Each structure stands twice: as C-alpha cells, then as structure tokens.
C-alpha cells in the first residue's frame, strides 16, 4: 500500500494566493507516487478565502478543509491541521508560496531515507523588508543565546514530520505554541534542507509586528529560564559587592573617618541585590511550575527493542 503524505496549509485572508497555491501543490503532489491529502485550515479569514477553499474541497477528494470559528493565529491553525492529518508523513507549508512546494518530493525522499524531521532552512530571503530580515536575523541569534534548548537558526515552520513525531507533538498540549521549537525539542533524526525563501506570491504579510513579537516571546519564554538566571546572577553580584563595600568601610574606619554616604551606597547595593536575588530564586519555582503546566511528555521513546522469545 502506498504511503500517505498530508500537507497542512494555514490560511488567513489568502484569497489572492489560494488558487495558485492549490495549483502548484497539486501539480507537485499528484506527480508523486505516494497518495496525498491537502489540509487547508481557514483561520477566521474575513475575505473570500473560505468559499474558495470550500469549492476546492467540493471538487477535489484530496482536499480537507478545517474552518475555524475565528482567527486563532498561525500556530493554532497549523496545530489543528496537524491534528487532522492522517498521513505517514505530514508537511507544513505556508499558503503564500514563500516556501516552494517543489521541495516536497525531496523532503519525502529524505524521509524515506531515514530522516524523521526534514526542516527547511532559509539561506536567503527575497522580497522581504530590510527591517524584517534584520530583526529575524537578530532574533534567531538572541533565541540561540537565551534558549535552554538549541533550536535551529533561520528555520520557519516549513517542514516534514514523520508520524511518530506528529504523535508526540499531539501529546504536547501547551497553549503558547512555538512549533519550530517544539519539533526540535522532541528529538528524532532531524535533517535540514536549504532553500531560498521566495517573495510572497500576492497580498501582504498576515504577520504584523504585534503577532511577530508574540511569537518571538513565546519562543524565548517557552524554551528558556535564562532571563531568571540573569536576574539571579545580577542580584548575587550586587549583594556581594554591597557586603564587600560595607566590610571595606568598617576596616577603613579603624584608620580614618569615612563619609556617611558611602554606607548608604553599600546598603543600597546589598539590599537591592538581595531583592533581585530573591526574585531570581522565585523564578526557579516559576520555571518548575511552568514545566509542570506545559505537561510535556517526560521522555520520548522512538521504539522499545525487545527480543520476543
């Protein structure tokens, strides 16, 4: 029996691109030997996206349409699509053709050769503003420095995942989702595939700065307790500096008169440092509570090897 490939496409106000996106995806997928399903997720679009997607669903048995009650955001749309997917491998791709569908056969080939995740890595970006390129470049470096987990740089959500990975992802119910980080966190054999990020086929970005900042914050907060660590260290250093200054002043007092405001500085340093230290220590508990709340699996098993005798 041939394998099934599911392709998940989130849609938010994409009436200008959905037709071309469907055409190019179908051309690529129908030429492959595997069976396929195309899962469109309409994320509360306010334009004509739903009726266009509905037409596609009615005329093509490969198409599945998930229609959201309102706009829940890209990460939720992708999550819903992945949950509906029945495939042995699931591909996530943007609707605007910035991620080239023509790369899918190569991803499937890598999957057949043993990769369990194939993630698209952008070697360059076309047609995006200098601001977007610069902030994206810096963000992935800050994320790398702050994150407790190494998330591959310059990757979006364009990727193929094996069924095993999809099942683990489905068992990660956290609300603030940073999928590219979550997929990286699960482990398994992950391989990059490099590509040039094309220009948007039509329309404009559905990721305004506000949504982008939320995603960026989710990436850092969900994967790192380091901000609390920075607070702890700063507090600790200030506290010790305050104490040392105080000690130095006491010693100096044996030899000479010391002006009063130096004591005030020592006290401010010590008390301020202690405050920060206490806050940072609370962070340790917050981190642990957050870990519990995320409810991620404790460990992930690829397979148990057991000799059945």
Instruction: List residues near ligand UDP by CB under 6 A.
Output: 10-12, 14, 43, 71, 73-74, 77, 94-96, 98, 205-207
Please state the closest distance from residue 52 (CB atom) to ligand UDP, in A. Answer: 13
Q: Which is nearer to Mg ion, 98 or 222 (CB)?
A: 98
Please state the closest distance from residue 14 (CB atom) to ligand UDP, in A. Answer: 5
Q: Is 99 in the site for Mg ion (CB under 5 A)?
A: no
Give burial (CB, 10 Å; 0-12/13-18/19+) of 133: middle
Q: Which stretch binds Mg ion (CB under 5 A): 92-100, 101-109, 113-121, 230-238?
A: 92-100
Give the Cα separation of 144 and 162 in Å (integer).
Answer: 25
Q: Is 98 in the site for Mg ion (CB under 5 A)?
A: yes
Please state the closest distance from residue 208 (CB atom) to Mg ion, in A. Answer: 12
Q: Is 6 in the site for Mg ion (CB under 5 A)?
A: no
Q: Which is nearer to Mg ion, 20 or 35 (CB)?
A: 20
Give the Cα separation of 25 and 293 in Å (integer).
Answer: 38
Binding-site partner at residue 10 among Mg ion, ligand UDP, none, CB < 5 to 8 Å by type? ligand UDP
- Cα Dmax for the chain: 94
Q: Is 157 in the site for Mg ion (CB under 5 A)?
A: no
Name the residue among 135, 150, 137, 138 with its Cα closest to residue 226: 150
Give the Cα separation of 109 and 279 in Å (integer).
Answer: 50
Give the Cα separation of 219 and 180 in Å (integer).
Answer: 9
Please state the closest distance from residue 12 (CB atom) to Mg ion, in A. Answer: 10
Please state the closest distance from residue 180 (CB atom) to ligand UDP, in A. Answer: 12
Binding-site partner at residue 55 among ligand UDP, Mg ion, none, CB < 5 to 8 Å by type? none
Binding-site partner at residue 122 among ligand UDP, Mg ion, none, CB < 5 to 8 Å by type? none
Six token digits for residue 204: 């404009």
Q: Which is nearer to ligand UDP, 102 or 204 (CB)?
A: 204
- 190-197: strand order across its sheet: 63-67, 35-42, 4-11, 89-92, 155-162, 117-125, 190-197
Query: If you compute the radius of gyration of the chain from its CA atoms, what whole number of angstroms results?
Result: 25
Q: Is 13 in the site for Mg ion (CB under 5 A)?
A: no
Please state the closest distance from residue 137 (CB atom) to Mg ion, in A. Answer: 17
Binding-site partner at residue 49 among Mg ion, ligand UDP, none, CB < 5 to 8 Å by type? none
Q: Which is nearer to ligand UDP, 8 or 169 (CB)?
A: 8
Helix, strand, or coil here: 124? Answer: strand
Name the residue among 226, 187, 182 with its Cα closest to residue 79: 182
Q: Which long-range contacts (CB under 8 A, 24 or more apart) does 204-207 make?
A: 206/12, 206/13, 206/14, 206/74, 207/74
Among 14, 16, 88, 96, binds Mg ion (CB under 5 A): 96
Binding site for Mg ion (CB under 5 A): 94, 96, 98
């Amino acid at each position: 029996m041939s394998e099934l490939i599911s392709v998940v496409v989130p849609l938010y106000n994409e009436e200008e691109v959905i037709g071309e996106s469907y055409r190019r995806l179908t051309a690529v997928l129908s030429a492959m030997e595997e069976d396929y399903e195309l899962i469109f997720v309409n994320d509360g679009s306010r334009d004509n996206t739903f009726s266009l997607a509905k037409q596609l669903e009615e005329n093509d048995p490969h198409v599945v349409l998930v229609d959201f009650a309102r706009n829940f955001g890209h990460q939720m749309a992708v999550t819903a699509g992945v949950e509906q997917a029945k495939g042995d491998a699931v591909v996530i791709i943007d609707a605007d053709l910035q991620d080239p569908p023509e790369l899918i056969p190569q991803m499937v080939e890598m999957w057949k050769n043993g990769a369990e995740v194939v993630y698209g890595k952008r070697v360059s970006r076309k047609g995006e503003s200098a601001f977007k390129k610069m902030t994206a470049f810096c963000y992935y470096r800050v994320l790398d420095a702050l994150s407790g987990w190494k998330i591959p740089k310059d990757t979006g959500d364009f990727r193929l995942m094996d069924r095993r990975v999809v099942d683990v992802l489905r068992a990660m119910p956290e609300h603030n989702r940073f999928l590219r980080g979550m997929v990286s966190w699960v482990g398994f054999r992950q391989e990059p595939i490099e590509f040039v990020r094309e220009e948007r086929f039509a329309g404009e970005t559905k990721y305004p700065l506000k949504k982008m900042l939320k995603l960026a914050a989710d990436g850092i907060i969900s994967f790192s307790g380091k901000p609390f660590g920075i607070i702890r260290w700063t507090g600790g250093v200030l506290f010790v500096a305050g104490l040392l200054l105080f000690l130095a002043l006491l010693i100096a007092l044996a030899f000479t008169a010391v002006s009063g405001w130096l004591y005030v500085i020592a006290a401010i340093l010590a008390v301020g440092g202690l405050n920060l230290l206490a806050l940072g220590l609370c962070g340790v508990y917050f981190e642990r509570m957050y870990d519990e709340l995320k409810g991620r699996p404790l460990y992930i098993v690829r397979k148990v090897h057991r000799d059945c005798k």
